[in-house]
Chains A and B, each alone.
Chain A
């Protein structure tokens, strides 16, 4: 009887303590964001943020960078992964090596190499668009992995041959046969890239561009309550993106890069 009780009590206590560790910071951040000095609690931190043009500008910049990174990386990767599955099987080890490289060369090391290699042209390195170049690399392991797994679960060869026998050219084949079967994969890859870019700090901070994460850090130097409010907002964005991925059924996707 006693051991039986222990067998339930010990795991329960352990899991309870762990969930405290994970929940208390979230609750504390929520309460802290509502704090307005002394015993006053209100939404002033949030209203001040919404009236700050810097908030809107940085959030919009990050959204724009995220959308462009998603679009460009899909345009580059979808045909490549498709081609490797169909004909370039020998190139698969090369692709796997490329997909591991962003872990081996972390963001802070890559930005070191990028800045010393590319000092121009000004329209590229002087504008926030330069960040897209790096973000596509950051997201590469996840995008590649998602597309690779997604395409492998399809019978790409049969699908392609059937479409071509019916007279489809390459764009028709892609648009009407391959991509519609990959919707779940594409949504998963998109959301993951989106979440990575929305939280990315390293590149933007070193290259001095005012993205959302850089803005949160900047606010944090002056107002703790507003920083707490922004942290909650950022957590909500991540949460929604991950929820979307879970709903599309790609629960095994792990993230290691992005905003550490």
Chain B
């Protein structure tokens, strides 16, 4: 009967090799595979204006939502964890964050279309009040709209991942600082922020990767008409643009490169941050 266990374990690793490692390798090496041996032609294509534009948009979008989501998430986590906050607020925010961090993709896109779209309820209501949202240069279907939409899952995600670090800020440190005559600003500048910083950066890096890899939300919002790296890969794959499959692999290679750097930065920062949390 032990054989069954052995077969299942070997099955698991065979599965990982076949459907995770080999496809990843295929993307990494496929990008260099030309008709006659190895080539850099497709990787060079990444530096064409069209794809550079996609990478810049993706990075800007991911950075903006990581920073904004990180700041708002941290402030919300801090305020709800403070001893003055009522318990119902704390449980409410934790539970809602768990749900909202998972509410993304197509349903989120249409929820935002119903609210901020050209016919959305809030847009229409604001217009009746004499304020035209779309006159301000905002559009739900451009980068600014994507930032607004992404924050709906980025902020709750930040609340979830930063909570252990915020909880690690001990009250005694604050009391000790103020007993020694520190102002609240001094406490944050010399004690609170330096302790929180590695965890804060690690979480923001995670948010960055989360936004960078998003495909469903921007696709549903713009019907695939926005220059972002995941959307471009999807366009190559579904044959919407005339290009060789290797270009898709080159784009995916660039994406994996950025995600790998993000995960590495996350791991290093997290190790640093863990010093204050292990108890």
A→B interface (CB under 8 Å): 11, 14-15, 18, 21-22, 24-26, 28-29, 31-33, 75-77, 79-80, 83, 98, 100-117, 133-134, 136-137, 140, 169-171, 195, 199-202, 205-206, 208, 213-214, 216-217, 220-221, 224, 227-228, 230-232, 234-235, 238-239, 241-243, 245-246, 251-252, 254-256, 258-260
Q: In the complex, what distance in Å separates the CA atom of A245 from the CA atom of B11?
A: 28
Indicate if B259 sits at the interface (CB-CB under 8 A): yes
Is B234 a contact of A108 with CB atoms below 8 Å? yes
Contact assessment for A116 and B106 in the assembled complex, using a CB-CB cutoff below 8 Å: no
- Report B143-172 CB contacts with A as 1/0, cut-off 8 Å: 000000001110101001100000000000
Given the known interface contacts A254-B101, A259-B104, the answer about A105 and B95 at a Cβ–Cβ threshold of 8 Å is: no
Q: Interface digits, B84-116 against A, CB 8 Å rule (1 contact, 0 not)? A: 000001000011101111111111111111111
Encoded as 1 (CB less than 8 Å from any A CB) or 0, chain B from 46 to 58 comes to 0000000000000
Please report which residues of chain B, range 196-233, place their CB below 8 angstroms from some CB of chain A when the two chains form the complex: 206, 209-217, 219-220, 223, 230, 233
Binary contact track B183-199/A, C-beta < 8 Å → 1, others 0: 00000000000000000
Is A169 a contact of B1 with CB atoms below 8 Å?
Answer: yes
Any A CB within 8 A of the CB of B139 = no
Taking the closest CB of chain B, its distance from the CB of A35, in whole angstroms, is 8
Tell me the complex Cα distance, A14–B220, Å: 30
Q: Which residue of B lies closest to A76 (CB)?
A: B12
What is the CB-to-nearest-CB distance from A212 to chain B, in angstroms, rounded to a whole number?
Answer: 9
Determine chain A's interface SS by DSSP, over half rule. helix
- What are 27 A-B contacts defined by CB distance under 8 Å? A11-B82, A15-B79, A25-B114, A76-B15, A79-B5, A79-B9, A104-B256, A104-B259, A104-B260, A105-B27, A107-B215, A108-B230, A109-B252, A109-B256, A110-B24, A112-B237, A201-B106, A224-B119, A227-B113, A228-B110, A231-B114, A238-B99, A241-B102, A245-B98, A246-B98, A251-B98, A255-B102
| B72 at the binding interface (Cβ < 8 Å) | yes
Pick from B24, B113, B152, B153: contact of A113, CB under 8 Å: B24
A246 CB contacts on chain B under 8 angstroms? 95, 98
A227 to B217 alpha-carbon distance, docked (Å):
14
Closest to A219 in B: B110
The distance from the CB of A252 to the nearest CB of chain B, in whole angstroms, is 8
Q: Quick one: which of A32, A83, A235, A258 contacts B5, CB cutoff 8 A? A: A83
Bound Cα distance A38, B95 (Å)? 37
Residues of A close to B38: CB separation below 8 A: none
If the complex has contacts A79-B5, A101-B20, are A111 and B237 also in contact, measured as CB distance less than 8 A? yes
**Docked-complex contact A255 and B101, CB < 8 angstroms:** yes
* Distance in angstroms between the alpha carbons of A165 and B111 in the assembled complex: 58
Contact flag A113-B26 (CB < 8 Å), given A98-B16, A105-B256, A201-B215: yes
Residue of B nearest to A112 (CB): B252
Grouping DSSP codes into helix (H, G, I), strand (E, B) and loop, the B interface class, with mixed when no group exceeds half, is helix
Cβ contact within 8 Å between A238 and B12: no
Partner of A216, one of B98, B107, B260: B107
Q: Are B76 and A216 neighbours in the complex by a CB distance under 8 Å?
A: no
With A170-B1, A230-B107, A260-B216 given, is the CB distance from A24 to B210 under 8 Å? no
Asked if B98 and A109 sit within 8 Å, CB to CB, the answer is no
Asked if B245 CB lies within 8 Å of chain A CBs, one says yes
Which residues of A are found within 8 Å of B214, using beta-carbon distances? 260
Given A105-B259, A112-B237, A224-B113, are A254 and B157 neighbors across the interface (CB < 8 Å)?
A: yes
Contact of A220 with B213 in the complex, beta carbons under 8 Å: no
Q: Which of A11, A77, A108, A134 meets B215, CB within 8 Å?
A: A108
- Residues of B close to A239: CB separation below 8 A: 99
Contact check, A254 vs B26: say whether CB atoms are below 8 A apart: no
